[in-house]
């Protein structure tokens, strides 16, 4: 597989749009009032893209490690990518992947004294890379001879901490040259399903699925010995952890982002909960700036009116951007982000984005789906949300012809932004497979802020396209945990069907979030997770906390022949041949998600997972 990236990412020049124009495109123009610029200074977006690097789609980028001017990004499809920050060009790729055998990395940790980066994964050996040349990491040696499943790695002084899922938290001393003796690895007292660990000294903490946020305390005499402090249970899926000073920042999927204070000798106290309308995968804090990364967008919060020592006051949304650029392909799976100075680096599957931040800025972008999939001939409308505090006027144009307009008011304080619909008075030509909606905003002083484009994807009659909203979902078979044949969609209950792979790092927060939503009181839909392998047989359900959530398999050694016989009508591969919607190009790493009503009729089709904040199809 060829892998590549633009070696230099150039920031957009003055007066240039970040996105190109398409011939015959539909323009979605957004305005916040009509006051002239002479009335005062123009409102500026709090998040402004400066530069980006886009790899090819073979790169599966996830966890970010910042070391000075160098950025190391775990690549679950080939070791790690290395980039460098520059004031002039923004970002430069110094190495796409080390020139060694294939390695799977989903987590990274650095030991600065020995110039070593450790690479671990859910499936793979523990590896050590030399960064004597920080621009070009080179494999030093495998630490383990066999696979060592690891969710997270962290270096605390001269100790490597390993979050080993249901095997608990382990530790190993680091030699002066960065080497680690595999036989010296030993468990810590934290015996739980541990997913993350971060911090240093008195502010070291872990995330354990059964417990929540768990402080870890160094022994006063033998510093390498850890004891487990009282935990803070958090409402939400435990997706990521970062510790900044005494504050633990926990990504909680659809439940938002928690900022909790770590206290010596006591349980952590949650001081604030930020609730953007998305699935939070990463959080970072720098002074009064908080960055909240979601699968579908990036949010910047101004914390100057929030006292984190008492939890009083409130945060203000200062900026929002959708992930990716719509006309170049939107990955739609931002998995990590960190501040570097006042700039923000965001990893979005096969893109690395560099954003400037401004605390006095405002959110001027609209949240909208990357693609709307609909049946030709149906009435068409586009779901939109205004996450900011300015009233937005929206128009949809095809060339110079207006097709519709809407007014999006800001939501009430402490309320999530409501979904509005932009009704199109006239549908685009049915001969067009895709129609682009360019979106721009105009602030209260009359200045335009370009924010993206929208695709409309019609399901073509007689072309063999996957079903759309309003169609019945064809019934398929799967085997449950007992090996019995079951049919989907489920009879008499709204169902949220998610086909998924077990080795896709971008799917892990989706599965954790769906499992948490399934356990909420009175869930609106019953989640059904469908995979080729048997999750119970391979231990995946236990590892990711999916016990009790309905799931099934269709291509495992334990799958009954009757399941394959029932699904033969769809082709050799159930999902790829029968249900994968390749005509929705954005969020292309995510399998197609179908939501059906009690009768099995599709009410939503998507490839961009938004959890509890999903857009709704239909009128």
Tokens of 592: 């197609």
- The string of DSSP letters for 193-206 reads -EEEEEEETTEEEE
Q: What is the pTM of this model?
A: 0.91
H-run or E-run covering 495:
strand 495-499
In what side-by-side order are the strands of the sheet with 448-459?
Answer: 371-375, 448-459, 435-442, 26-31, 392-398, 401-408
For 94-149, give the DSSP string.
EESS-SSS----SEEEEETTTTEEEEEBSSS--EEEE-SSTTS-EEEEES-SS--B
At 99 the pLDDT is 75
Q: Please identify which residue in the block is written with the tokens 């060694």.
A: 100
Confidence of residue 558 (pLDDT cuts 50, 70, 90): very high
Give the per-residue pLDDT at 1.
Answer: 31
Counting every residue written for the chain, the total comes to: 619
435: pLDDT confidence band, cut at 50, 70 and 90? low
What are residue 602's DSSP bridge partners? 596
Summarised one tens digit per residue, pLDDT across range 320-338 is: 988 755 444 556 689 999 9
Most confident of 82-91, 186-195, 381-390: 186-195
Give 566's contacts (C-beta < 8 A, 6+ positions apart): 476, 477, 485, 487
Whole-number average pLDDT of the chain: 85
Average pLDDT value for residue range 512-539:
94
pLDDT band at 582 (very low <50, low <70, confident <90, very high): confident
In 3D, which of 510, 498, 487, 464 has the Cα closest to residue 605? Answer: 498
Determine the average pLDDT of the residues in 198-214: 93
Pairing status of strand 159-163 against strand 152-156: antiparallel
Closest CA to 362 of 144, 8, 57, 44: 44
Give Cβ neighbours of residue 568 (< 8 Å, ≥ 6 apart). Answer: none
Residue 226: pLDDT band (50, 70, 90) is: very high
pLDDT at 244 exceeding the cut of 90? yes
pLDDT at 365: 82
Q: pLDDT by residue (tens digit) across 73-98?
A: 999 988 999 999 987 678 999 999 88
Going along 427-483, which residue ranges are E strands? 435-442, 448-459, 476-479
Distances (CA, A) of 509 to 153, 160, 334, 341, 345: 18, 25, 11, 27, 20
* Residue 444 pLDDT level (bands cut at 50, 70, 90): low
The CA-CA-CA angle for residues 217, 223, 227, to 5°, reads: 30
pLDDT in tens, 514-524: 999 999 988 88
Compute the chain's Rg from CA coordinates: 24
Decide: residue 305, CB within 10 A, 0-12 exposed, 13-18 middle, 19+ buried. exposed
Task: Find tokens 């499992």 and name the residue.
Answer: 515
Is 80 exceeded by the pLDDT of residue 392?
no
The per-residue pLDDT for range 30-63, each reduced to its tens digit, is 554 333 333 345 568 899 989 999 888 788 999 9
Angle, alpha carbons 52-197-118 (nearest 5°): 65
Q: Which single residue is written with the structure tokens 């999916």?
A: 546
pLDDT of 22 > 60? The answer is no
Q: What are phi and psi of 568, to 5 degrees?
A: -60, -25
pLDDT (0 to 100) of residue 595: 95
- Which pLDDT band, with edges at 50, 70 and 90, does 28 fall under? low
Span 344-356, mean pLDDT?
92
Query: Strands 526-531 and 551-553, how do they pair?
Result: parallel
The predicted structure's pLDDT at residue 130: 97
Q: Where are the beta strands (DSSP E) in 166-294?
A: 169-173, 186-187, 194-200, 203-208, 212-218, 226-228, 240-244, 247-251, 257-261, 269-274, 280-286, 289-294
């Amino acid at each position: 597989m060829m892998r590549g990236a633009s070696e230099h990412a150039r920031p957009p020049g003055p007066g240039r749009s970040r996105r190109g124009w398409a011939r015959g495109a539909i323009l979605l123009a957004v305005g916040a009032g009509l006051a002239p610029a002479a009335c005062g200074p123009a409102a500026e977006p709090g998040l402004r893209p400066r530069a980006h690097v886009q790899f090819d789609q073979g790169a599966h980028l996830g966890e970010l490690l910042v070391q000075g001017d160098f950025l190391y990004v775990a690549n679950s499809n080939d070791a790690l990518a290395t980039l460098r920050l520059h004031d002039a060009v923004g970002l430069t790729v110094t190495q796409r992947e080390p020139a060694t055998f294939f390695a799977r990395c989903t987590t990274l940790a650095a030991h600065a004294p020995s110039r070593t980066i450790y690479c671990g994964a859910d499936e793979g050996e523990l590896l050590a890379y030399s960064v004597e040349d920080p621009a070009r990491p080179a494999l030093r040696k495998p630490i383990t001879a066999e696979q060592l499943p690891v969710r997270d790695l962290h270096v605390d002084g001269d100790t490597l901490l390993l979050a080993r899922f249901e095997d608990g938290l382990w530790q190993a001393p680091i030699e002066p040259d960065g080497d680690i003796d595999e036989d010296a690895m030993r468990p810590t007292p934290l015996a739980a399903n541990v997913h993350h660990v971060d911090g240093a000294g008195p502010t070291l903490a872990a995330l354990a699925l059964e417990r929540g946020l768990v402080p870890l305390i160094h022994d006063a005499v033998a510093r390498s010995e850890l004891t487990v402090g009282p935990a803070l249970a958090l409402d939400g899926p435990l997706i990521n952890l970062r510790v900044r000073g005494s504050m633990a920042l926990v990504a909680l999927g659809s439940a938002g982002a928690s900022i909790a204070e770590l206290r010596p000798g006591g349980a952590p106290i949650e001081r604030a909960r930020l609730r953007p309308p998305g699935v939070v995968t990463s959080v970072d804090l720098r002074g009064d700036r908080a960055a909240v990364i979601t699968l579908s967008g990036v949010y910047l919060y101004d914390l100057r009116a929030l006292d984190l020592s008492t939890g009083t006051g409130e945060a203000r949304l200062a900026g929002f951007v959708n992930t990716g650029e719509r006309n170049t392909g939107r990955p739609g799976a931002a998995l990590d982000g960190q501040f570097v100075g006042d700039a923000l680096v965001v990893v979005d599957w096969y893109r690395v984005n560099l954003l400037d931040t401004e605390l006095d800025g405002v959110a001027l972008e609209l949240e909208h789906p990357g693609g709307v999939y609909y049946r030709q001939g149906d009435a068409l409308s586009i779901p939109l949300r205004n996450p900011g505090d300015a009233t937005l006027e929206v128009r949809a144009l095809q060339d110079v012809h207006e097709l519709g307009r809407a007014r999006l008011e800001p939501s009430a304080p402490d309320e999530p932004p409501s979904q509005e619909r932009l009704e199109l008075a006239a549908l685009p030509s049915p001969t067009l497979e895709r129609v682009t909606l360019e979106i721009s905003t105009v602030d209260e002083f009359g200045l335009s802020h370009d924010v993206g484009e929208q695709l409309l994807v019609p399901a073509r009659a007689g072309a063999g396209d996957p079903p759309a909203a309003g169609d019945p979902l064809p019934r398929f078979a799967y085997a449950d945990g007992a090996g019995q044949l079951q049919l989907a969609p489920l009879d008499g209950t709204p169902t949220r069907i998610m086909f998924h792979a077990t080795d896709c790092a971008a799917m892990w927060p989706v599965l954790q979030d769906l499992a948490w939503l399934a356990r909420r009181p009175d869930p609106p839909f019953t989640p059904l997770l469908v995979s080729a392998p048997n999750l119970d047989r391979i231990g995946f359900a236990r590892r990711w906390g999916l016990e009790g959530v309905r799931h099934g398999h269709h291509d495992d050694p334990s799958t009954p022949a009757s399941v394959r016989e029932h699904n033969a009508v769809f082709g050799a591969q159930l999902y790829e041949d029968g249900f994968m919607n390749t005509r929705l190009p954005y969020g292309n790493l995510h399998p197609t998600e179908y939501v059906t009503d009690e009768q099995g009729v599709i009410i939503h089709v998507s490839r961009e997972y938004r959890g509890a904040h999903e857009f709704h199809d239909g009128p």
